[in-house]
A and B are shown apart, each in its own frame.
Chain A
Amino acid sequence: MRLTLPNPGLEDRILSHAQLEKLELEEAGERPKWDNKAQYMLTCVGFCVGLGNVWRFPYLCQSHGGGAFMIPFLILLVLEGIPLLHLEFAIGQRLRKSSVGVWRTVSPYMVGVGIASMFVSLLVSLYYNTIIAWVMWYFFNSFQEPLPWSQCPLNENRTGLVSDCARSSPVDYFWYRKTLNVTPAIDETGGLQWWMVLCLIAAWGVLYVCCIRGIETTGKAVYVTSTLPYLVLTIFLIRGLTLKGSVDGIKFLFMPDLAELANPTTWLDAGAQVFYSFSLAFGGLISFSSYNSVHNNCEQDAVIISIINAFTSIFAATVIYTIIGFRATKRFDDCLGGNILTLLNTFDLPETNITVHNYDQVLRDLNATHPNIIQDLNLPTCNLNTFLSEGVEGTGLAFIVFTEAITKMPLSPLWAVLFFIMLFCLGLSSMFGNIEGVLVPLQDLGVFPKSWPKEAISGVTCLVCCCLGLIFVQGSGDYWLALFDSFAGSIPLLIVAFCEMVGVVYIYGVDRFNEDLVFMIGHKPNIFWQATWRVISPLVMLVIFLFYFVTTISKELFYIAWDPESEKFPTLEKKPYPSWIYVIIFILAGIPSLSVPGAAIFMAIRKWRDKHLDSSSPPKKKMSVN
């Protein structure tokens, strides 16, 4: 398809190949550069590999047919993830600007795409750093034995345990009461929780130190933040495999259920996971690759980073499920042990009569002889698969399920410290990309005066974000975070990614793009890239976007709340959102999405007005075009 939309003035806005070559040789550009290739690769890997690889992918894998989920995941990785990644790397390397600069160069009407990326990066940074603050809180609390989430605290009279804790569990209590101090509904703000404010300040402080001079400091920090998670995952894998029940966990995770492949939700979830996991459309990747040398082989980089990302997802899933298998086996053993004890006590049988092996047989015999007594006992049924499928995702996995598993391992504080350092590094390296996607567009848009040094710009941005992030450290902060996560970080990104592909292929021109790639890496991209860029990837993005849009519009919106007063406590209660939340949702999802057409309309009006002014004023000697 040789369809290219008219794009006047493109040649004037971009540097020609000759100019790029000269820039490369003279090194006369003001743009910062990577110290070496390793820094660039580690930064991109760090940005792509984030918390989602650890706590979203394992859940999706297990709930969509285990090993069978690999098939849609890998297919969509190749058809959607790698082409988009290559596109962003190449366009950033070629036009050598941030996301706003790149799209403004491609066409002034496309500046909205860059602005949308910036808004999304900003909204995501706000809540993502709050998650890092939570991780830091748990990290700070891991330096004690016994761990504070391993036992319930006593109530005031010291007669028993605190009632909320006794009814749920120590880990739940520590998460919902001691960490979040969560209110029962999103309407009740609950005030700022001072300990979380301190942790939030710590999180933004650490981020500021690492981003204070842009990639000059970030590039040094990634040597630690991008490599440490792999080390910790390996340690956990070795430790996990020595625990009882770990292999059950891995078998449960990877047991293929090919029937799930017929379910369209599986494919859509796989597509969404690939897309969000690669941190595409945030603008950070475009920025990072703009600091590269012009002849850097971006094709190779895209393929390598995609493979690393997929491998990390699978590796992390394995590690997580060894520990979940251990926890489920522990729970199963405790459940069975409790039932056996109850039976022994009720019937006064010697201890050796009922063991784990003959439990079922004995229960049947006793049920035949004394059915009434057995019924009165209300013995819970112990099923290992039920415990294994209690697998959760998101913060529930990290802060409830995994922390509980850690308390059951010997040397718990050590494992807790290692686990939370790993989560911290994963989150921080992703934050570098998010902040890059906010800082550099702000500079390109001219929001800050040019005389300000880099340190001041990053300082002001971090300070403003920290203050805005105070929403999430209130009592109702967790509900706000879930809201932001569902709406700010989902639909606008899909729109931006679709517009990016359309922009490069049809507005910038795929022929010009191919020539640029020949100049940069020495050979024309082969038929695979051509097919995916022009047809396949945009189609996949469109399908995922429509699906998301339709499900979001049609479903009833509710959130899950921790309400000790509710009847179903300790199960979380589904509550509908109050009506004013819909305004907030519109702001979160609508403003970034609408800035794409909005900016285009604004630029069109400005151009029409300029033309009008030119034609109405007396004709003067034409100056050279700006």
Chain B
Amino acid sequence: MWVWIVCLLTAAPALAEPLCSKEVCDNYGYKVRISIKTALGDKAYEWNESEMFLFRATVAFAMRRYTSDETYNVSDIVVCNKTARVSFWFLVTSPANTAQLVPRGQVEAAVRLSRNRINSAFLLTDQTLQFVGILPTLAPPISYDTPPWLIVFGVVMGVVCAGIITLLLSTLLKRTRSKKNLLETEEEEDRRGSITANGRLCESLREKDPGRGHPDDVHLSKL
């Protein structure tokens, strides 16, 4: 049994190495780029092994959520080619068989489903926690029942129409009132027996300046 354990221990690294080769990564893995300083500025945290552990745990969570298979574990997520940029490749192995790799399509679908959760775990966004090859999902456009501009337009037109109607009505009222006044004073003048031809002129002068009386009458009588 000891021999088996020794063989397994020596074989494990040998098994792990081909996993991080270029062909395997291209076919089964995804590149991840993390830009913590761009996202958080002063509040940026240090990227260390614990953060890497959290990343592997969130991807395992994403796989669990997508496949509804609760056997995925942190050890099933393999990370390789880490750089100082903070970028690396990751692969997902099947929990049942560590030699079998989960196809790219499934990994992508799992990540897409839980993208929001993965982002929030690191306080990052789709652009700063970048899965190269997995496009960020576009937010659905906000749709309104009535476009807001029509509402504002309606309000403005309502005010304008109210203004036009008010002004036209006030002119109309002034006219009918002045016509009524004119008719009344004309009847009065008729009763008094003065010349109606001059009546209108007297009326308009009287409207303009009720104070003036005789001097203008004298002036007019010359005509």
Contacts and interface: CB of A to CB of B under 8 A. Distances in A.
Nearest to B83: A348
Contacts of A141: 148-149
A435 to B, nearest CB: 15
Given A213-B167, A348-B83, A351-B36, A154 B160 contact: no
B149 A348 contact: no
Contacts of B168: 212, 455
B85 A205 contact: no
Contacts, number: 79
A208 interface: yes
B30 to A, nearest CB: 15
Interface in A191-239: 195, 198-199, 201-202, 205-206, 208-209, 212-213, 217
Main secondary structure of the interface of B (DSSP, over half): helix
Nearest to A148: B149
A524 B168 CA distance: 46
A205 B164 contact: yes
B165 to A, nearest CB: 10
Interface in B130-152: 138, 140-141, 148-152
A153 interface: yes
A352 interface: yes
A209 B85 contact: no
B119 interface: no
Interface in B149-202: 149-153, 156-157, 160-161, 163-164, 167-168, 171
Contacts of B35: 341, 344, 351
A28 B86 contact: no
> Which of B36, B138, B149 has the most chain A CB within a 10 Å cutoff?
B149
A350 B85 CA distance: 4
Interface residues of B, number: 29
B153 A143 contact: no
Contact of A202 (B33, B37, B151, B156): B156
B121 interface: no
B85 A143 contact: no
Contact of A28 (B87, B161, B171, B208): B208
Given A212-B164, A351-B85, A455-B168, A139 B152 contact: yes
B33 A345 contact: yes
A207 to B, nearest CB: 10
B163 A209 contact: yes
A213 B83 CA distance: 77
A453 interface: yes
A455 B156 CA distance: 21
B6 interface: no
A50 B148 CA distance: 29
B129 to A, nearest CB: 13
A137 B149 contact: yes
A349 B167 contact: no
Contact of B87 (A154, A160, A208, A348): A348
A140 B149 contact: yes
A217 B163 CA distance: 11
A209 B160 contact: yes
Given A141-B148, A212-B167, A351-B37, A154 B141 contact: yes
Contacts of B33: 345
A568 interface: no
A209 B149 CA distance: 22
Contacts of A154: 138, 140-141
A144 interface: yes
Contacts of A345: 33, 85, 87
> Which of B36, B83, B85, B161 has the most chain A CB within a 10 Å cutoff?
B85
Interface of A: 27-28, 136-137, 139-141, 143-144, 153-154, 158, 160, 195, 198-199, 201-202, 205-206, 208-209, 212-213, 217, 337, 341, 344-345, 348-352, 453, 455
Given A205-B161, A351-B85, A455-B167, 15 more contacts: A27-B208, A28-B208, A137-B149, A140-B150, A140-B156, A154-B138, A154-B141, A160-B138, A202-B153, A202-B160, A205-B157, A209-B160, A344-B85, A348-B84, A453-B171
10 contacts: A136-B156, A144-B148, A195-B149, A202-B153, A206-B160, A217-B167, A349-B85, A351-B36, A351-B38, A352-B37
